[in-house]
Structure 1
């Protein structure tokens, strides 16, 4: 699977989403073994945003993510073995086992970093875009954020600076309706999120975050503008996380959202939508599905075996990379 899928057809997008879904479901199942000693924030249900956006990105484009970063890292072609080794705290992890699930990076794939502090990743992507501009390259930077991030001042400061400097950066808002356990109506006034860009004279576009082709096309237009020197874009994608805010389980029973709401969004599953579209068009069948999932499962099994048997960091390196 290549990193840049600007001309990717639906079968490629579907496979990328199915792969992410299977990887994260495997993480959820194996988490109970108590060998992954870090929190995990899963993107199950939100795969279309990651895959659709990254379809148009190149390896030299820079991606910055949040605490919910697995799907972004994998969609940008981050190394699966290095990701799982990091979650297991192993020396072969992408951060040497020091960062865990919320700190993923892959310089070869253009995954600059991920950060757990809400909105803290946004100005870093803007800085990456500024560096791209200063170096005279036609690459772009992209920052993913949840709807809680737009409540932080640094979001607005970054939007203003990026618009003023016409930087090649995409602000990608994954609106999954909740910040931890608090819904939008209890946190923000009612208005279209695209209106946030108006005050900065910035283009904005909204699309169905569970339709991978719609996401891809909106991102493609924004990336083209950025590469052409026409500045940043705010992209708004409504989607929904299935699992609890942090962890491998479901939490519909604790009262902040209803089972009916969850089931309604589950019917709009981005992976199954793409699957149904392919089958209806005669482009996918049971045999192809079985072969594809078997190949993905083999890759997952190999990656988990690598992560579980890899050595832990040496105690002598405990003070490495520590500054103070």
Structure 2
């Protein structure tokens, strides 16, 4: 267990993972009512990745996400109430109801946005990392992407550029085994996405994405290296998503009971709880209190989102162009 983790860090990590899980599980239920517009891609099962990485980040550090971005948003510090309102397409949403699930963002906390373009976060993070380097802030940029995006040219170009310019960047490949419905065993030529790091002259590291502590330790080393001027790292996090590629996906491409088996034996929240409680670091009662508090917070966010007004016709042409004072 990482020696750098304090008791407060452990409580924060658990609260973040539980908030992501509760947020996503509730969206799974609410989406079925037909009240949420557009597409929704859930992050449940992958909580240890976003949390393990983002626990090392400051508000001025930047991350870029994927279409499966809610977990990254929460881990980077976004509030769940305006996030929920955004997903419901309401005016009180963090983006005024105009972004929805796939384009939710909050630059105030360094979240550059979920992204409907597969692999679209790579160039954004190169820009953010270059800005930090030029300003001398020792800030970092983190690009989350999936196994499908690992084959996209812009991700490969971004990794090459990050090494050429020695940018303070971290590329996190969240390999959940499926690019939509296509197994990564079929679509990715090498055994591990991290093996590609050598072609770009950067370290490549593989971790078990069900283990928060493994992710936290590996991410910490990579981020510290980036802050110190050592350049980028490719971190492959092997994990699983519990729901389909999108809400409504029946997952017929997965083996019978595959998800059930993973939930029962490799769930990141279960493993975290077992480890900290057996080591006497946190009491189960403390974690159960967090569970109740988070559940109430999500309930309130859903109620507020449903009651909030929708954008009006007058809002249609706002937020289109940058306005300078």
TM-score by length of 2: 0.92
Shift of 1:32: 2.0
Q: Equivalents in 2 of 1:138, 1:290: separation in Å?
A: 37
Shift of 1:217: 0.6
Q: Judge conservation of contact 2:147–2:188 (CA < 8 Å) in 1.
A: no
Shift of 1:200: 1.3
Shift of 1:285: 4.4
Deviations 1:31-73 (A, max 9, x none): 1222211211001110000000001000000011010000000
Matches within 5 A, 1:1-324: 9-247=9-247, 251-252=250-251, 254=252, 256-266=253-263, 267-322=265-320
In the superposition, relative to structure 1, how do residues 131 and 305 fare at CA in structure 2: closer, same or farther (>3 Å)?
same
Shift of 1:148: 0.5
Q: Judge conservation of contact 2:85–2:97 (CA < 8 Å) in 1.
A: yes
SS at match of 1:102: helix
Q: Equivalents in 1 of 2:203, 2:26: separation in Å?
A: 38
In the superposition, relative to structure 1, how do residues 92 and 6 fare at CA in structure 2: closer, same or farther (>3 Å)?
farther
Q: Judge conservation of contact 1:170–1:235 (CA < 8 Å) in 2.
A: yes
Gaps of 5+ in 1: none
Q: Equivalents in 2 of 1:307, 1:122: separation in Å?
A: 32
In the superposition, relative to structure 1, how do residues 62 and 284 fare at CA in structure 2: closer, same or farther (>3 Å)?
same
Q: Judge conservation of contact 2:122–2:159 (CA < 8 Å) in 1.
A: no
SS at match of 2:160: helix
SS at match of 2:101: coil
Greater shift, 5-14 or 301-310, is seen at 5-14
Shift of 1:188: 2.1
Greater shift, 103-112 or 155-164, is seen at 103-112
SS at match of 2:242: coil
Where has structure 1 moved over 4 Å in runs of 4 or more? 5-8
SS at match of 1:240: coil
Q: Equivalents in 2 of 1:243, 1:61: separation in Å?
A: 30
SS at match of 2:154: helix
Q: Judge conservation of contact 1:86–1:99 (CA < 8 Å) in 2.
A: yes
SS at match of 2:89: coil
TM-score by length of 1: 0.93
Q: Judge conservation of contact 2:159–2:200 (CA < 8 Å) in 1.
A: yes
Shift of 1:284: 4.1
Q: Judge conservation of contact 1:6–1:55 (CA < 8 Å) in 2.
A: no
